[in-house]
Chain A
């Protein structure tokens, strides 16, 4: 049973504006941080519950071979687990800060996750609608989702961090 802080998110049903939103990830790789995004995703808020999904096949990186590898069994395994999902269980707001506890599912593994971020005020947009924004992030251990690929550096240290930051920049538009 979800427990909802009724003050946390605006009431009603809200649908993500996909053009002006993004979902991505960042992970330390070798000497820097590597970023990717998912171009096909969905998110909504209804009755104070945030739901989100992203299609694994829509992963966007700058090399098609890498994109294919990320979709393969070494990583997300798009054939067997085509979607990443998130469902909130509790949402708490303190000013413009939000803390969201929920369940995230990657590669068929479901784990609890705490997401933190910011919420914008609800505004009227130029198209006669209402919208608000969420800027969210969480850090997950990819090992717990069965994604353990690595490649050792000459030092013996792993090239790819097991800790991955997942980010969501969402603009949510009120549904009438």
Chain B
């Protein structure tokens, strides 16, 4: 099982990327291959004029990487009560053309962290809405890591067993959804016959 991890934060010492790395350890402990996507910073702003058959290299790369994954695991911060622009921009590129976009029917999960107390719950809700509109198979489950500056030990692991358990539950559900999708025969993948 190949899982792609995407952090909505570009910051070097991002709590969300730290959470993603920790989640990656848990995925690998469960037997999955895990890869973090680095490259949101290189993506140009979405522009339909450039959304042609020969897409920008950074766009082609993320589309292919998402297509090759069995599941995608998102970790997002919250900027102004919503999704970071870089992450939304990447999703806008990935989602075109809509009928064949690589997130269509792809099992995905969303968790998030924030330095404040609410753990990016609004951004997570927005991200789930966007992923649903794109056609992804959004896994149940939410983990809000609030006060993230105090939630990691020196090894990068979560220092609250309850949060660790919640993250693991989302991972388990996502892997089950991905396994189910992998073993079932896709009936269709087009907008119109």
List the interface of chain A (C-beta within 8 A of B): 39-40, 55-58, 60, 64-65, 67-69, 71-74, 78-80, 82, 149
Contact = CB atoms under 8 A, between A and B. Distances in A.
Interface in B115-157: 132-138
Contacts of B104: 68, 72
B99 interface: yes
B105 interface: yes
Interface string B176-193: 000000001011111111
Given A73-B138, A74-B135, A78-B188, 18 more contacts: A39-B192, A39-B193, A57-B190, A57-B192, A58-B192, A64-B191, A69-B133, A69-B135, A71-B135, A71-B191, A72-B104, A72-B132, A73-B132, A73-B135, A79-B105, A79-B186, A82-B187, A82-B188
Contacts of A67: 191-192
Given A79-B186, A80-B184, A74 B191 contact: no
B91 to A, nearest CB: 14
Nearest to A149: B132
B10 interface: no
* Interface SS of B by simple majority: loop
Contact of B137 (A65, A68, A73, A82): A73
B98 interface: yes
A136 B82 CA distance: 44
A79 B132 contact: no
Contacts of A82: 187-188
A134 to B, nearest CB: 25
A39 B191 CA distance: 12
The CB with the most chain A CB atoms within 10 A, among B99, B136, B184, B188, is that of: B188
Q: Which of A39, A40, A68 has the most CB of B within 10 A?
A: A68
21 contacts: A40-B193, A55-B193, A57-B188, A57-B191, A58-B192, A60-B192, A64-B191, A67-B191, A69-B132, A69-B133, A72-B105, A72-B135, A72-B136, A73-B105, A73-B132, A73-B137, A74-B132, A74-B133, A79-B187, A80-B184, A82-B187
A80 to B, nearest CB: 7
B109 to A, nearest CB: 13
B174 to A, nearest CB: 14
B122 to A, nearest CB: 13
A68 B97 CA distance: 10
Nearest to A69: B133
Contact of B98 (A56, A68, A79): A68
Nearest to B100: A68
A57 B190 CA distance: 7
Contacts of B184: 80
Contact of A64 (B98, B132, B138): B98
Nearest to B103: A72
B44 to A, nearest CB: 21
B185 to A, nearest CB: 9
A78 B187 contact: yes
A68 B135 contact: yes
